[in-house]
Chain A
Amino acid sequence: MTLTEKILARASGKPWVRPGDNVWVNVDVLMTHDVCGPGTIGVFKREFGQNAKVWDRKKVVIIPDHYIFTADGMCNRNVDILRDFVNEQGIEYFYDIIDDPKGQWKFDTVKGDFTRQFGKHYSGVCHSTLAQRGHNRPGEVLFGTDSHTCQSGAFNQFATGIGNTDAGFIMGTGKLLIKVPETMRFFLEGELPKGVSGKDVILHLIGEIGFDGATYRAMQFEGPGVGSLSMDDRMTITNMAIEAGGKNGIFTCDQKTLDYVNARVAENGTKSTFEPVEPDADQQLFYDKAFDLSKLEPTVACHPDPGQRKLAKELGHIALDRAYIGSCTGGKTSDFLAFAEVVKGKTVKIDTFGVPSTTLVLDELKATKWEGKSVWNILVDAGVRMTENPGCAACLGGPVDTFGRVNKAGIKCISATNRNFPGRMGHKESQVFLASPYTVAASALTGKITDPREFIC
């Protein structure tokens, strides 16, 4: 069996499963956020009754992150709905924006976007939070009401996105009926060269198989090249499995995985037992291809979909209006460090926005010093508009007052995020180009799409 088949067999209490089998799986973690949580709660109550209890209050993780720093009253209300539900159900893991469990959230427009406005429990982007706060564990089954839930597969777990109805069903029963996907194997060899990162790997692979090349299937990453990839790179890769239509993305487990997970579960007091899976030697694969990481170059997905693959060096003719670094895909500490390596001591030429994915990233950027100066200040001094309020921000457009949102037609934005269908970052007649933090940084400096290797020594 493949990694995915092994996990699904275990979760459904069967000795083995085959692609195409429909199985009831027991769920280890259900994650929801402020955009889909209120609707999920609505389905749960409608179907199981006003007084129903969730199946396991320690297995539901609620992470407000999408529409937080906005004056839109309905968005603020949605966070309050989550809080009421958490109180009523005694849910253990809730990363609330405010400290008072009886309070109401209201964004303070006078303080604005740049100054921090979050309480001590807040974290930020849901997928990054799951990883950093000890909710990702090898061998487990995780569902989330968000399509990039597949990111958690970096930790050798089965993780995929679902809608409110399915999530409401899980809330009440702890189970979901799913079809076992076929597996496509991406066998990674070699090591990434300088200036090339996990983002380039996944953009390359999506270009290879097409924007729907993995529809209904599992993307499995293994091979000797895996060991050289950091956990952050692996997360960036599995995060975008959905951009090829994949049901899930999953990595094999190694010492790096174990070190990361063990440290996070210990630090956060979350469940610490788990059992990783390995692929069988006779696993059946729908697709199997080797990729040499050392041959990859800085890659860009052009407007209007993530499958429009080009090399950065071929796109020097595309003039840009804006650059953006942030999100689950591109807003981790390592992403900002890569960005800072390029812009350090220089000044960006176009409007450039930076949004840390979580409060932990914010703290790390302020605490990390290069030649006596914090990386945060290096970025600010280079002209990057850095917000202290972590979250999804303009990654998916959102309410019109969202930090960094593209509000004008015709704007061309290069972004470290994961999706570039028309209108993704705001105006439906704007254009988004997806690239690595290195490439976004180099392009911010020149105002056109730029291969970052000329800026990195």
Chain B
Amino acid sequence: MAKTITSKVFVVADNIDTDQIIPAQYLNLIPTIKEEYEKLGSYALAGLPDDVNPIKFVPEGQTKTPYGIIVAGRNFGCGSSREHAPIALGAAGVEAVVAESFARIFFRNSVATGELYPVDTPVRICDEIKTGDEATLDLDANTLTVNGKTYELKPLGDVRPVIDAGGLFNYARQSGMIAKA
């Protein structure tokens, strides 16, 4: 499946942990209930300290973000195992996160839920671009193009077909690992 994503980017630095992605007080929401899923989206990245990130990721009173791609530094998604984190981002409309590295559980949850593509970048992009820039992510060529500059990314490899399928269960059914529902 050919895939390119063009969107405004939201830029953050290192160690964006799951409390910043979805603050703990909203974990009373259950992601498998539709209205609560939408609500989780409205709180995505609500835990970013305002002094460091003055721009709101999801505008006040809305449930969706104008930023379909997040560009981050090291260790994105560190902290808790809450699947609410990739889900909140996915529910808000994020399609991909491009980071220098990901915390293991966040990466795994992104793939298992199929909510977003977690893409590794070998170079630090987050210091060179700013929130609001237009970017194009090409998942076949493994590149991110922003402000006329193209960055080479690491290929997604084994996990790409799982996310393309919409997550672990769909993939497991498609490939015969578990019985079709």
Query: Interface of A with B (CB < 8 Å)?
Result: 22, 35-36, 38-39, 42-43, 46-47, 49, 66-67, 72, 74-75, 78, 81, 144-147, 149, 161-166, 169, 172-173, 211-212, 215-216, 242, 245, 247, 304-305, 396-400, 419, 421-424, 428-429
Say if the beta carbon of B169 comes within 8 Å of chain A: yes
Residues of A close to B32: CB separation below 8 A? 38-39, 42-43, 46, 164
Once A39-B32, A397-B24 are accepted as A-B contacts, the answer to whether A245 and B112 lie under 8 Å apart by CB is no
In the complex, identify which listed stretch (B56-64, B72-80, B122-130, B133-141) lies at the interface while the others stay far away.
B72-80
* Between-chain CB contacts (< 8 Å), 23 pairs: A39-B32, A75-B28, A78-B28, A78-B30, A81-B30, A144-B81, A146-B80, A163-B105, A163-B108, A163-B109, A164-B32, A165-B109, A165-B167, A166-B108, A169-B112, A169-B168, A215-B104, A304-B15, A305-B15, A305-B17, A396-B24, A419-B17, A422-B47
Taking the nearest CB of chain B, how far is it from the CB of A302, in angstroms?
A: 13
Contact between B81 and A74, CB atoms less than 8 A apart: no
Nearest first, the 6 A-B pairs at minimum CB distance are A42-B32, A163-B83, A161-B81, A163-B109, A421-B17, A165-B112
- B75: chain A residues within 8 A (beta carbon): 211-212, 215, 245
The contact of B74 among A36, A67, A72, A212, by CB within 8 Å, is: A212
Residue total for B at the interface (Cβ-Cβ under 8 A): 43
Distance (Å) between the CB of A448 and the closest chain B CB? 24
Q: B19: CB under 8 A from chain A?
A: yes
Please state if B83 and A165 are interface contacts (CB–CB under 8 Å): yes
B20 contacts chain A at the CB level, 8 A cutoff? yes
Highest count of chain B CB atoms <10 Å: which of A22, A419, A421: A421
Beyond A215-B104, A216-B104, A397-B24, whether A169 also contacts B78 by CB under 8 A is no
With A42-B33, A46-B32, A163-B108 already in contact, the answer to whether A245 and B47 are too (CB < 8 A) is: no
Contact residue among B24, B29, B48, B108 (Cβ-Cβ distance under 8 Å from A162): B108
Which residues of B in the span 165-181 have a Cβ within 8 Å of any Cβ on A? 167-169, 172, 178, 181
Minimum C-beta distance from A81 to chain B (A): 8
Find out whether the CB atom of A39 lies under 8 angstroms from the CB atom of B74: no
What would 15 more interface pairs be, CB under 8 Å, given A49-B181, A165-B113, A398-B25? A42-B32, A74-B29, A75-B28, A144-B81, A162-B81, A164-B31, A164-B32, A165-B112, A212-B101, A215-B101, A245-B75, A247-B104, A400-B25, A422-B17, A422-B20
Asked if A421 and B168 make an inter-chain contact with CB atoms under 8 angstroms apart, the answer reads no
Q: Is the interface of B mostly helix, strand, loop or mixed?
A: loop
Taking the closest CB of chain A, its distance from the CB of B148, in whole angstroms, is 31
- B27 an interface residue at 8 Å Cβ cutoff? yes
CA distance A81 to B33 in the complex (A): 13
Q: Do A396 and B80 contact each other (CB < 8 Å), given the known contacts A47-B181, A67-B27, A247-B104?
A: yes
The answer to whether B23 has its CB under 8 Å from any CB of chain A is yes
Contact indicator A38/B30 (Cβ below 8 Å): yes
| Among B19, B25, B101, B109, contact of A422 (Cβ-Cβ < 8 Å) | B19
- Closest-by-CB residue of B relative to A41 is B32
Name the contact of B27 in the complex, choosing from A35, A49, A144, A424 (C-beta under 8 A): A35
- Return chain B residues, CB-CB under 8 Å to A247: 104
The answer to whether B49 has its CB under 8 Å from any CB of chain A is: yes
- Tell me the nearest residue of chain A to B47, going by C-beta: A423
Select one of A35, A172, A428 contacting B49, CB under 8 A.
A428
Q: Say whether, besides A67-B28, A211-B15, A163 and B48 are in contact (CB < 8 Å).
A: no
> Distance in Å from the Cβ of A297 to the closest Cβ of chain B?
26
Determine the distance from Cα of A120 to Cα of B83 in the docked complex, in whole angstroms.
31
Given A169-B168, A215-B101, are A399 and B79 neighbors across the interface (CB < 8 Å)? no
